[in-house]
Structure 1
Amino acid sequence: MRAALFMPIFDDLADPRVLVQLAVEAEDAGWDGVFLWDHVRLSGPVRAAADPWIALAAIAAATSRILIGPMVTPLARRRPVKVARETASLDVLSGGRLTLGVGTGSDEFGHEYSITGEDVDDRTRAEKLDESLEILEAAWSGDEVRHRGRYFTVDGMRFLPRPAQRPGVPVWVGGYRGKVKPLRRAARYQGYFPIGVDSPDHIAEAAAQLTELRRQAGVGDARFDLVASLPADEDPAAYAAAGATWRFTRFPASVTVDQVRGVLRVGP
Structure 2
Amino acid sequence: MQVGLHALGIGNGARPRIIRAVAEAAEAHGFATLWAGEHIVMVDTPSSRYPYSADGRIAVPADADWLDPLLALTFAAAVTTRIGLATGILLLPEHNPVAVAKQAATLDVLSAGRLTLGVGVGWSAEEFAALGVPFAHRGRRTAEYVAVLRTLWDRDVASFEGEFTRFEGIRVNPKPVRDRRIPVVVGGNSDAALRRVAAFGDGWYGFNLPAEAVGERVRALREYRASHHRPATEPTVAVALSDGGPGQLPALADAGVTELVVVGAPPDTPDAATAWVAELADRWITPPG
Distance 1:231-1:181 versus aligned 2 partners, 3 A rule: closer
Provide the C-alpha distance between the structure 2 equivalents of 1:96 and 1:192, rounded to a whole number of angstroms.
19
Q: CA deviation at 1:84?
A: 0.6
Does the CA-based 8 Å contact 1:231-1:251 persist in structure 2?
no
Aligned residue runs from structure 1 range 124-203, under 5 A:
124-176=137-189, 179-187=190-198, 188-200=200-212, 202-203=213-214
Q: Does 2:82 correspond to 1:65? A: yes
Q: Who is 1:91 aligned against?
A: 108
1:264 maps to which residue?
A: 277
Structure 1 residue matching 2:3: 3-state secondary structure: strand
**Per-residue CA shift, 1:22-54, capped at 9, x if unaligned?**
111110111111011112244536432222221
The answer to whether the Cα contact below 8 Å between 2:210 and 2:243 also exists between their aligned partners in 1 is no
Q: Which amino acid aligns with 1:25?
A: A
Structure 1 CA distance for aligned equivalents of residues 148 and 3 of structure 2: 30
> The residue matched to 1:194 in structure 2 has which SS?
strand
- Of 219, 241, 245, the residue aligned with 1:230 is 241
Instruction: Quickly say closer, same or farther: Cα 1:226–1:169, change in 2 above 3 A.
Output: same
- What TM-score do the two structures reach when normalised by structure 1? 0.87
Q: Percent identity?
A: 27
Q: Using the TM superposition, give the Cα deviation of residue 94 of structure 1 relative to its aligned residue in structure 2, in angstroms.
A: 0.9
Q: Is residue 249 of structure 1 aligned with residue 262 of structure 2? A: yes
Separation in 1, partners of 2:242, 2:209: 12
Bigger CA drift: 86-95 or 228-237?
228-237
Q: Secondary structure, in 3 states, of the residue corresponding to 1:112?
A: helix
Matched, 1:118 2:133: yes
Q: Does 1:79 align with 2:90?
A: no
- Matched residue, 2:5: 5
Give the partner amino acid of 2:230: V
Contact 1:207 1:243 in 2 (8 A): yes
Letter in 2 for 1:156: G
Greater mean deviation of Cα atoms: 158-167 or 135-144: 158-167
Q: Which runs of 5+ in 2 are unaligned?
A: 45-60
Partner of 1:211: 222
Deviation at 1:8, TM superposition (A): 4.8
Greater shift, 93-102 or 161-170, is seen at 161-170
2:101–2:152: 8 Å Cα contact kept in structure 1?
yes
Gapped regions of structure 1 (runs ≥ 5) = none
| CA distance, structure 2, for counterparts of residue 251 and residue 87 of structure 1 | 25
For the residues of structure 1 that align with 2:208 and 2:81, how far apart are their CA atoms? 32
Runs of 4+ more than 6 Å apart: none
CA 1:196–1:30 in 2, change beyond 3 Å: closer, same or farther? closer
Letter in 2 for 1:118: V
Aligned to 1:29: 29
Aligned alpha-carbon RMSD (Å): 2.3
